[in-house]
Structure 1
């Protein structure tokens, strides 16, 4: 009998000792969570981060604030993340380019593939090739014929050298046998301004940024990089439809933590985020903005895709002897 009492006492004591540890494995509920959006206020990443924050507040019954911190292709936001406690209360919302593209473009303080971990794919989107209305072409075949007839005279803008909007132009050059000249910018807004102004005739732009300009007639769309047509641009064909399947490309917005955040916290945040992003209202708002809901890929699947994309983009950039800045 005494042995039984002793055993029960021991079990109770162990349970009480484990309780604080289990609590420590979760983000602190009485502390506001921070989501750092690695882009400007009102931009794609900020919009996605705020949709997520609204839902997480309901799911976790915890305050969630969003801070927009653009710069360095996500490096500024990651630097903030690295300085924060590793308890899951600070997260970053940014693009897959953080690992697949940016390390090719600039020399970074951190090895992004090791220092940050994507735990959920929140949304995805593609690029659309657009042109100034003065370009004498309204379809991609017409555009390719025009470029061929004017060798070395047609340029295209990207939102930054080394990114998908740069690489896709290189891929189209090779696939179509043309020679568009690349002009790199620091962000989509100044590049699109110059396309609208006729300073650069063409651009591979993010669909959310281009939609209002297409609908207002300020730019002409030629093709999208999505696997299927965009609901927001139903009359614009995909590159694959037009015979260029190699230009199919999707970027995705992820929720990122440092890998040393406890696994229980990572799983809890992933489950909550996936639940929020699957809600009909959230999916509808993403579609209105020109994005698609993310896929329920696991963190390991996301990491594998990042490695593959990093190698693919690196091979293209190496072929033109591209050097990081």
Structure 2
């Protein structure tokens, strides 16, 4: 069963906090005044140097130019992003704290944990998407392989090295790697890392032979020849990385999967603040220079309204749950 997002699925929307949109428009200046004069804090659930952190800093720099106030990125790494979510839950509701996150955190924790410590529809207020991202399978340059066929043959010769590093256990990167191993006929054991940065370090040094993470985490290192991406879960080859084959091309269309990146606000965020940050972040992300930087990291830039964000999130919860079941993973 394909893991591609059903783009036609439309589920009932609940708890969007979008009532009074006309009030938001009338009070736009009040919204801006509420935000002005203090720093904006952007929480990131992974260490510095990974794809999420790099993109957050690009966006922060451009947003700082636009709104004329300090914008700070604060790394709250650990627990697959749950630490950052907990910090957002406890943040002030005045619009001074937002979180930049991937579905590999918000959706994955919701689906894979019996008690994730938050309720997705209640505790995280979707503000807007910045884009879609795919999962990739990547090899260490130390093993000297260039494609999936060679890797499959190498695994048969080196069964003791049938493992892969994942940027987060219980995430799409974990399940994608496990399902790819099954498809190749050699089960792969996942090795959990606290984000992409430490995994990249071990891949480049040859301490782990293969890894799985977001395209945004590995693209620049792939282009620099520091690691080798051999498969991407996207529906089609990324225009900014045409040399990377899709899982469909490689004969495994059921592994197709696309996640997202976006901004969330804390529970209790006012409709005026929601409207303000949705507008400012959308305009900022769509600026030509920032858009190019995000493309270069591997993000398929696509912005959205809060309601469109909720729709995509709800659809992904369903497809991610199916991916988890196929991987044989049970909620902890």
Tell me the equivalent position of 2:261: 253
Cα deviation digits, residues 160-196 of structure 1 (max 9, x gap): 2211111112332444544333333333333334444
Q: Which runs of 5+ in 2 are unaligned?
A: 1-25
Contact 1:211 1:232 in 2 (8 A): no
Shift of 1:203: 1.7
User: Is 1:155 matched with 2:163?
Assistant: yes
Tell me the equivalent position of 2:197: 189
| Cα root mean square deviation, aligned | 3.2
Contact 1:105 1:161 in 2 (8 A): no
Q: Name the count of aligned residue pairs.
A: 306
Cα deviation digits, residues 123-147 of structure 1 (max 9, x gap): 3332321223454753223433554
Tell me the equivalent position of 1:317: 324
TM-score where L is the length of structure 2: 0.78
TM-score where L is the length of structure 1: 0.79
User: Is 1:306 matched with 2:313?
Assistant: yes
Contact 2:46 2:194 in 1 (8 A): no
User: Is 1:92 matched with 2:112?
Assistant: no
Distance (Å, rounded) in 2 between the aligned partners of 1:22 and 1:188: 39
SS at match of 1:27: helix
Q: Which runs of 5+ in 1 are unaligned?
A: 1-18
Contact 1:152 1:180 in 2 (8 A): no
Q: How does 1:1-325 map to 2 (within 5 A)?
A: 23=30, 27-103=34-110, 104-105=112-113, 107-133=115-141, 135=143, 137-147=145-155, 154-293=162-301, 295-319=302-326, 321-324=328-331
Distance (Å, rounded) in 1 between the aligned partners of 2:329 and 2:105: 18
- The structure with the larger Rg is 1
SS at match of 2:54: helix
Cα deviation digits, residues 86-129 of structure 1 (max 9, x gap): 12222111112232112315843222332002211123332321
Shift of 1:31: 2.7
Distance (Å, rounded) in 2 between the aligned partners of 1:227 and 1:63: 38
Contact 1:274 1:296 in 2 (8 A): yes
